[in-house]
Structure 1
Amino acid sequence: VRHPSLVQVFCRHGITKEVALDCEFVAKGSLQLENMLARVSIVNSDLECLYDEYVKPQEEVTNYRTHVSGIRPKDIENGKDFHKVQKEVQEIVRGRILVGHDLEHDFMALKYSHRRDLVRDTSDYRIPDKYGKPKLKELAKELLGIDIQQGEHDSVSD
């Protein structure tokens, strides 16, 4: 886990012009349909992890969705305060090209908006002969020839 001010110390290339963001969510609410931020990860263009923090729940968690999110109660019970995470993430990504998959969910959870001209959302890409938004797993396999998300998700590797 790295603090933005220490990124230069821990990474060979530090914060690059392009960074990638991914978040993991748990469910809140009686219907378990609402997302609540549980983990935020940012890597630079050299795939070095710049930031990886678990977020303390602001409300009661109604489903950890561990089979998908990889999040367990012990991960977030001592997580960092949401507002602190939000501020640190903004400090890292502001003014940079931000890459991610279906970023609207991450932005909603972070209560953040990024300059549209600096957003590269991989869900906007299409796989030939397939309809709709592709899953990140499908894009990785089709375009990069790699298998990801073989079970629980990990926001650093995603």
Structure 2
Amino acid sequence: EISITEVMTPRVVVTALNQDMTIKEVLDEYPVLRFSRMPVFDESVDDIQGVVIRSELLVAASRDEWDRRIMEFMKPVEFISTTQSVDTALDLFLERRQQFAVVQDEFGGTSGILTMEDVLETLLGEEIVDELDEVDDMRELAREQASSGEEE
């Protein structure tokens, strides 16, 4: 069995949004929203409150609803433990009809995120890359960032 920690996107490369941000603030900070779903936090990334869907934010922006807060778009989010397997995650996604989960460590902190795409890539043995993907492997990006930080 493959652990979800082997396939999740590590927290250091997760794009998470503060629930109090406005649509304008989000798009000023992230002119290109590369991810279809983003976790939403309150105090810190260890305090994930929900998830937002990119298309809903962009529709609001197209309607000039710049001052609406991210919390208004928040959906409930699934949580899964770092001790779980990819098989368990697939079952969770299918049972709950979800495509996104926050991976929590044994202390309730955020370790990263896991998507249905991560699970399918693992099962297929192939990266699913689309036109917005700047990086094929987010885990590799996290390793590169960590090693470059150590060299400084």
The answer, yes or no, to whether TM exceeds 0.5 is no
TM-score normalised to the size of structure 2?
0.27
TM-score normalised to the size of structure 1?
0.26
Which is richer in helix? 2
